[in-house]
Amino acid sequence: MLANQYPFAYDRTKPFIEQVGEWVGEVFYEILPKAGFEVRDEQIYMAYQLERAFADKKTIFAEAGVGTGKTLVYLLYSICYARYTGKPAIIACADESLIEQLVKPEGDIAKLSRHLNMEIDARLAKSPDHYMCLKKLDQARNNDDESLPLEDLYESLPDFVHSHTALQEFHAYGDRRDYSDLNDEQWNKINWDSFQDCFTCDVRHRCGQTLSRDHYRKAGDLVICSHDYYMEHVWTYEARKREGQIPLLPDHCAVVFDEGHLLESAAMKALGYKIKHVVFEELISRLLKNDIREALAMLIDEAIEQSEIMFDSIRRQSHSIPGSDRMSIELNERLLRDVHRMRTIIASIEEELVFESELYTLDEYQLRIVEERLEMMEVALKLFEDSGALICWATEDSDGVSLFVMPRDVKEVLESMFSQNMPIVFSSATLSVDKSFEYLREGLGVQNYLSFSVDSPYDYGTQMDVYVPEPLTGDFAEKFEISLKLIERTEGRALLLFRTREELFLFKQECLLRPESGKYSFLYEGDQEISYLISAFQRDEHSVLCAVTLWEGLDIPGPSLSNVIIWSLPYPPLDPVFMAKRSETTSPFEDVDLPYMLLRLKQGMGRLIRTSEDKGIVTVLAEEDGEHPVHEYITSVLPKGIQLQILTGQRN
């Protein structure tokens, strides 16, 4: 079947979505059961709810428990709607590892293609930082970085990268997945980052990222990306059009946000400005290579000098935050004065560029890019001066401090997305808190929406036990001993979920010192590419996977995952983004911290039971602290039929 054909006989005299609903009912009641699938009432109910959203082009919060088969439902409607409108639907997943699971050979798209005899044109739109940057690879080779297998990396490049002949066909390369043996630190030395200037890169037309982008823009049915990438598309849409660039994603007919409760965090990450001295200096210095007037040249020299002064002030006022790679910035009069001075110089340069453009001494394309970047920087610094209107933080690496500035309220930016006349589906097992969607609605600024909730069809009472150790002091050594005992109890087969990378690192260091931990293969997030680690964990039944980001979406059915250990309650970090959210309410714990933690805790527990045959245990290493009813919190997110049990006899 061709991608532009409907999977049913279309009657033009009847509403299209109504006919899709009839066909979807046939798929779930007749076609898939003949292939061995179960008929699930919860899945049928969700299908009828999504029919409303697609028919009326509405936003819908679709909360469906584990095992309802929600992915198949939204895929069927999205594919049909894409073929009806002639534009692909976007499936936005919480992160890149979830994308890999959706498109893997045994994934849901492959199942539909096989059992419905459909050719589904689904293409991946991975975030740029999941691709090798040819420029950064050259820099690493020039620096002779001994921490990287440089020659192997260079030899892995396809021949056409070094050729000047016309490119004959698409050849995907440079994907993070292809370099699974590199740890995150190594990969960050050669991957694309937000400070790379792709617009003026002389090898951009041979770049794996660029070629992949050209490929997915031609998708007929589905474009699959991350939340981060979709929000980057929304944020940069107008700017890219002004620069004469194509938007990151193609024009589309609908959006599905899988694990939709995480979209606000992705929006906060994407909707902002990033400034770095070395990048600014390189950008502004390009103008000096042209025949420009002396007044402009003097301003450029002044701007470079002031940028150094400003970033020195930012570095002095930045402080590390436990559990976060972001540094908070303490504003003072001197820093604000340095920022104002920098903004004033940039404004003067922009005025001079207006006169310079009339002389036609600068390349028009290059000038447009410089002007756009300067305008962005001026807006960011203006926000910085109006400290009540922004959230800011700093990071630091080998080539200096980076400043991140984002508007305090992302709702205004998101309005452009929700105002579009198209179906927008938020799908997850955890969208509501105490049966209310208000926490999610308020965070995203959604005004009008449809919603529904259906429970999981699984018998959790017989499949799953949930424990808390008691008494528990919260001491690291105590938690470590309990974890080892639990791992021994299930002979590996365990997933350990940590709130922060610091917790994971301490656990890893202790494991390396303990001979008894050598009985099992421990896999640590960050040591290798994440989808490779997940596959290794699934293949080696007695292995142990330790992760920080796999609270959502990880789907490992069968005995390989029989034991989930939650190291601590997953409260949000004390970084500037969440501090800003806390400052906007009179009850920060009840309005921000607790709902976030409960949603994430429920998701973490949901990693255990993925089929009706799965069995196992979940242990939450959280102690009653006298201030908060921790056991009550845990009990509130337990599936039906489960009672919280006290874990005993797990200490040496």
Reply yes or no on whether the pLDDT at 161 is more than 90.
Answer: no
Using CA atoms, how far residue 454 sits from 64, 68, 451, 616, 636, in Å, is 5, 8, 10, 23, 17
Rounded to an integer, the average pLDDT of 208-226 is: 92
Alpha helices in 188-332 (DSSP H): 208-216, 227-242, 263-270, 277-285, 294-316
Q: Report which of residues 581 and 591 the model is more confident about.
A: 591
Residue 524, beta-bridge partner list: 546
In percent, how much of the chain has pLDDT > 70? Answer: 95
Looking at residue 652, its pLDDT comes to 44
Assign 2 a pLDDT band (cuts: 50, 70, 90).
Answer: very low
CA gap 492, 464 in Å, rounded: 17
CA-CA distance, 223 to 125, in Å (whole number)?
A: 6
**Separation of alpha carbons 335 and 394, rounded Å:** 14
Mean predicted confidence (pLDDT) in 395-414: 81
Higher per-residue pLDDT: 358 or 294: 294
Two tokens, residue 459: 């018998």
Q: Please tell me the distance from the alpha carbon of residue 221 to that of residue 75, in angstroms, as a whole number.
A: 10
User: What is the pLDDT at residue 409?
Assistant: 64
In this prediction, residue 292 carries a pLDDT of 80
Mean per-residue pLDDT, 332-336: 93
User: Among 105-109, 336-340, 606-610, which is the least confidently predicted range?
Assistant: 105-109
* pLDDT (tens digit per residue) in 638-649: 998 899 999 986
Give CA–CA dist 530/95, Å, rounded.
Answer: 10
Comparison of pLDDT for 31 and 326, the residue scoring more: 31
Highest mean pLDDT among 168-182, 492-506, 581-595: 492-506
